[in-house]
């Protein structure tokens, strides 16, 4: 009886050892050896291991599995295109816009400096000077080459033409008022004295005969008033003014501006424009200073619409993007290029406990088979 128990125990230990070692070896043979072993031209059976030997097929099947069951368009839609994700993205963008763009901590000049335009005020002022100078030169060229007639619009010319008779009447009225005034009388007397003195001895004789030119002043004054009040005088002056105006209209405007120093005018205009624009001062304010309602408008209108349209467009293009990414080929290439040793380490690291249980189970089954064999041998 003692011999039977020893034999039974021995066969159980042998069976357990065979079962455990066999399972352990089977697990190892999934990955090892990593490369085929040759004795001269003869390849040793079961080399390389199962996974290294079938790595190409494994990579291809993994690629198909990922594309067909894991990273499907429906999976992306559920994970990345849900209403919850859209709301989170919208809230994130709103927060970032408020914290970065509409903050009072950064002026427009700060943003320009971040973009690499630290000398923007000087650049803008130089550009303004160039624009003003260009417009000034264009104006001078226009004044030099074009006549007044071409520069003035038809309605302005008609207005000026209509004002000539009015101006003539006004001049005659003022002349009449002047010659009737004491100052006008003195002017007439001085003109008579000058006239007589210019005639030499004849004028002296007339002056001696009259005794004083004052007696002639009233007569000349009456004749001058008659001349100014005569309709012919008005018509004559109107005709003269109209003819002279017609001549002036055909001349270039620059003919009347020869003595003007345009360089100093240009500098003053440039200085005035820069002073009014105050570029540096205007850039020294945050965006919210010029656009106080911008933050609310962006948060309530722009960002929600942009995010919604972006999600719709992205979802429409999802399948096309996945096709272009060719995830099946990407997975295949990655798995195919992944070192077998690293793959083995990864799998064993994840399933170490399960593989140990398989080894223990093999030992237990081997031990039970050994006991059953011992009993069969004993009874036979």
pLDDT (0 to 100) of residue 213 = 52
DSSP 254: G
User: pTM above 0.75?
Assistant: no
Q: In whole angstroms, what is the distance from residue 232 CA to residue 210 CA? A: 32
What is the spatial distance between Cα 191 and Cα 171, in angstroms, rounded to a whole number? Answer: 20
Q: Which pLDDT value is given to residue 206?
A: 53
How far from 199 is each of 186, 212, 215, CA to CA, in Å? 20, 16, 19
Query: Beta strands of the chain (E only): which ranges?
Result: 38-39, 42-43
Rounded Cα–Cα distance for residues 330 and 334 (Å): 6
Q: Apex CA 311: angle with CA 307 and CA 314, to 5°?
A: 135
Q: Which residue has the tokens 């033409």?
A: 161
DSSP bridge pairs for 290: none
Task: Tell me the CA distances in angstroms from 38 to 29, 43, 45, 54, one per residue in order.
Answer: 17, 4, 9, 18
Q: For the chain of 380 residues, list the mean pLDDT of each consecutive stretch of 10.
A: 72 81 76 71 68 71 76 80 87 87 85 84 90 88 81 86 90 88 84 67 52 65 86 90 88 77 87 89 87 87 90 85 80 72 66 74 81 76
Q: Which pLDDT value is given to residue 306?
A: 92
Contact (Cβ atoms closer than 8 angstroms) between residue 283 and residue 125: no
DSSP string, 316-336: HTHHHHHHHHTHHHHHHHHHH
Residue among 152, 159, 155 nearest 249 (CA): 152
Neighbours of 225 (CB within 10 A): 15
Predicted pLDDT of residue 350: 61
């Amino acid at each position: 009886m003692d011999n039977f128990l020893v034999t039974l125990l021995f066969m159980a230990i042998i069976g357990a050892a065979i079962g455990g070692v066999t399972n352990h070896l089977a697990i190892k043979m999934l990955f090892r050896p990593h490369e085929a072993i040759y004795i001269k031209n003869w390849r040793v059976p079961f080399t390389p291991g199962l996974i290294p030997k079938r790595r190409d097929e494994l990579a291809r099947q993994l690629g198909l599995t990922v594309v067909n069951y894991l990273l499907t368009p429906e999976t992306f839609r559920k994970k990345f295109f849900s209403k919850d994700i859209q709301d989170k993205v919208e809230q994130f963008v709103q927060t970032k816009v408020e914290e970065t763009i509409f903050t009072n901590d950064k002026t427009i000049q700060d943003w320009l400096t971040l973009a690499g335009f630290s000398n923007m005020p000087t650049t803008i002022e130089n550009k303004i000077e160039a624009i003003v100078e260009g417009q000034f030169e264009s104006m001078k060229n226009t004044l030099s080459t074009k006549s007044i007639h071409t520069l003035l619009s038809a309605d302005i010319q008609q207005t000026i033409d209509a004002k000539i008779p009015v101006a003539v009447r006004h001049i005659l009225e003022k002349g009449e008022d002047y010659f009737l005034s004491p100052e006008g009388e003195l002017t007439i007397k001085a003109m008579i004295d000058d006239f007589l003195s210019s005639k030499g001895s004849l004028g002296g004789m007339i002056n001696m005969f009259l005794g004083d030119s004052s007696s002639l002043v009233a007569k000349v004054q009456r004749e001058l008033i008659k001349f100014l009040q005569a309709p012919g005088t008005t018509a004559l002056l109107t005709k003269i003014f109209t003819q002279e105006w017609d001549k002036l209209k055909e001349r270039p405007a620059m003919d009347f501006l020869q003595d003007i120093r345009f360089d100093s005018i240009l500098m003053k205009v440039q200085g005035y424009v820069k002073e009014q624009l105050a570029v540096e001062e205007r850039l020294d304010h945050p965006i919210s200073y010029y656009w106080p309602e911008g933050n609310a408008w962006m948060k309530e209108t722009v960002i929600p619409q942009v995010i919604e349209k972006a999600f719709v467009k992205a979802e429409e293009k999802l399948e096309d993007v996945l096709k272009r990414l060719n995830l099946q080929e990407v997975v295949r290439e990655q798995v195919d290029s992944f070192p077998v040793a690293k793959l083995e380490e990864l799998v064993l690291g994840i399933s170490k406990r399960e593989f140990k249980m398989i080894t223990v189970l093999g030992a237990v089954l081997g031990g039970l088979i050994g006991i059953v064999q011992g009993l069969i041998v004993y009874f036979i």
